[in-house]
Structures are given as structure tokens and as C-alpha cells.
């Protein structure tokens, strides 16, 4: 059971690496932009290599920027060449339901030996098919599933049972985490990994009653 940090900021990664609680990092173009990276592809590449080097041997998942078959394969192979701890995120299908993505996932994993994290999935059935195609990671967007009125925990249980019974290699990553509560309940339900933003990770650590207790201890120590 692991926690991955979802960010593009070096200082945030360094902060939580020092605490010893991270087992990986995920990012995407939006998070890289929010981290203040500008200047085109060269600067994006520089930042991603910097993150991969910083967290090595822990995995870094980063996302392709196209849905064209040949370009996805080319981009994914390029990303993977930057560092051996890079996994490439590819959506389960295209923006209009194009099925070529599964073909790309299968080819990258089984022909080019690129580790793939299949993203943007909302159901156990999608995750199972991605795992059958050869994916190393299957990312279920739990917060969005809950928002649609479905129970994410039931989807996790179903996909974990399928993966265990068929002995497929894929690990379940839970994304779109909205509440501190989600992290432990999703891990207990069978997820291998939950991605969290820095504010959620801090919320897992800092508790108001813990603060109150420590303040009392320190105050009483001074009185003594």
C-alpha cells in the first residue's frame, strides 16, 4: 500500500520525501504549468527529468500530450528514455471514444517495454481491460466516480478481485482524491496506491487534537 504525491513542484516533493512517506510522484501538464514552468517543451523536459532524478528509484508518472497513435508511441518512448523510473500515462480511450489507445498500451508494454499507467478510468471494467492489454498501472478516478453517484469502494473491490484471480501484473492507482478520508478507505478496500495533493497529505498528518495535546505538553513542561 503506497501514497504517490500529485504535483509538479520540486519544493513540495522535497518536503515530503524528507518525511519518508512517499512511494512515487504523478504529474500532468496542468500541474507543471501551475508549478510555474514556462518556455516550451525543453523546460518541461528539464523539470520532469529533475523530478525523476530527485525521487529515483521511486516511480514518476507523466502524461502524453496527444491522442494520435503514432505520436503517443513516439512520445511515450521518448519520455521513458529520460529515466528508468518514468512511467507514461495514457488515457483509456480518446476524447471521442477512440479505441486505439488500448492498442498503443499493448504495443508500448509488450513490444517496447515501456511501463504504462492507464488513466481517466471510471469503472472496474475499464481497469480490467487496461490490465489485460498489459498495463503496469490502472488509474481509477475515485473522486469523479463518487461524484457520479457510484460507490468507488465497490469498484476497487471488483477490480482487485479480478486482478488477483487472473494474476495480472497491474497495480491499482486511485486518483481524483477529494478528501483525507478517501486515502485510507481506498487502500483498505484494495487499492495498491492512492495519489494525493500536498494539502491532503498534510491533512492526513496534522490533527487539531494532536496540536492541542502537544501544546498542552509543552506548556506544562515550561510550568515544571
Residue by residue, DSSP assigns 18-64 as HHT--S-EE--HHHHHHTT--SSHHHHHHHHHHHHHHHTTS-EEEE-
Location of C-alpha cell 469503472: 123
pLDDT beyond 90 at 174: yes
Please check whether residue 209 lies inside any domain of the structure: no
Confidence of residue 204 (pLDDT cuts 50, 70, 90): very high
Query: Residue 83's CB: how many other CB atoms inside 10 A?
Result: 17
Instruction: Specify if 212 maps to a domain.
Output: no
Q: How many angstroms separate the Cα of 79 from the Cα of each of 11, 118, 216?
A: 22, 15, 51
Q: How confident is the model at residue 207 (pLDDT cuts 50, 70, 90)?
A: very high
DSSP states of 113-144: ---EEEEEE-SHHHHHHHHHTT-SEEEEEHHH
Q: What is the pLDDT of residue 176?
A: 93
Which one of 9, 15, 89, 111 is the catalytic residue? 89
**Can you read off the three cell numbers belonging to residue 200?**
491532503
How far apart are the C-alpha atoms of 209 and 214, rounded to whole Å? 9
Q: List the CATH number of the domain containing 97.
A: 3.20.20.70
Q: What is the mean pLDDT of the chain?
A: 96
pLDDT computed for residue 152 by the predictor: 97
**Position 29 pLDDT exceeds 90:** no
89 is catalytic: yes
Quote the CA–CA distance of 172 and 174 in Å, as a whole number: 6
Domain assignment of residue 103, given as a range: 2-197
Confirm whether 211 is domain-assigned: no
Number of domains in the chain: 1
The answer as to whether 108 is a domain residue is yes
Q: Is the distance from CB of 43 to CB of 76 less than 8 angstroms?
A: no
- Residue 187 C-alpha cell reads as 487502500
Tell me if 224 is assigned to some domain.
no
Q: Using the predicted structure, report yes or no on whether residue 28 has a pLDDT greater than 90.
A: no
The percent of residues in the chain predicted with pLDDT above 70, rounded, is 100
Whether residue 216 is contained in a domain is answered as: no
Quick one: pLDDT at residue 41? 84
Q: Is residue 165 part of a domain?
A: yes
Q: How far apart are CA 44 and CA 42, in angstroms?
A: 5
Taking only the tens place, the pLDDT of each residue in 208-218 is 999 999 999 99
Residue 63, beta-bridge partner list: 89
pLDDT digits (tens, 9 = 90+) for 125-153: 999 999 999 999 999 999 999 999 999 99
CA dist 27 and 6 (Å) reads: 6
Q: What is the pLDDT of residues 64-83, one digit of tens each?
A: 999 999 999 999 999 999 99
**Is 106 among the domain residues?**
yes
Distances (CA, A) of 215 to 174, 210, 220: 35, 9, 9
**Per-residue pLDDT, 64:** 94
Residue corresponding to grid cell 519520455:
79
Whole-number Å distance between alpha carbons of 166 and 125: 14
- pLDDT(50) > 80: yes
Amino acid at each position: 500500500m503506497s501514497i504517490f504525491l500529485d504535483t509538479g513542484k520540486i519544493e513540495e516533493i522535497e518536503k515530503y520525501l524528507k518525511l519518508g512517506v512517499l512511494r512515487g510522484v504523478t504529474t500532468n501538464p496542468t500541474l507543471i504549468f501551475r508549478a510555474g514552468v514556462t518556455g516550451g517543451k525543453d523546460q518541461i523536459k528539464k523539470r520532469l527529468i529533475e523530478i525523476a532524478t530527485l525521487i529515483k528509484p521511486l516511480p514518476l508518472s507523466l502524461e502524453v500530450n496527444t491522442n494520435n497513435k503514432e505520436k503517443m508511441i513516439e512520445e511515450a518512448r521518448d519520455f521513458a528514455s529520460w529515466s528508468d523510473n518514468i512511467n507514461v500515462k495514457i488515457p483509456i480511450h480518446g476524447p471521442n471514444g477512440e479505441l486505439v489507445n488500448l492498442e498503443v498500451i499493448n504495443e508500448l508494454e509488450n513490444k517496447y517495454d515501456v511501463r504504462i499507467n492507464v488513466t481517466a478510468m471510471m469503472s472496474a471494467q475499464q481497469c480490467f481491460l487496461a490490465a489485460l492489454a498489459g498495463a503496469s498501472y490502472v488509474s481509477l478516478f475515485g473522486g469523479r466516480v463518487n461524484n457520479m453517484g457510484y460507490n468507488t469502494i465497490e469498484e476497487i473491490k471488483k477490480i482487485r478481485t479480478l486482478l488477483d484471480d487472473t494474476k495480472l501484473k497491474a497495480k491499482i492507482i486511485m486518483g481524483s482524491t477529494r478528501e483525507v478520508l478517501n486515502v485510507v478507505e481506498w487502500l483498505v478496500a484494495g487499492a495498491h496506491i492512492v495519489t494525493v495533493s500536498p494539502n491532503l497529505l498534510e491533512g492526513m498528518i496534522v490533527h487539531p487534537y494532536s496540536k492541542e495535546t502537544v501544546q498542552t505538553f509543552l506548556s506544562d513542561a515550561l510550568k515544571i
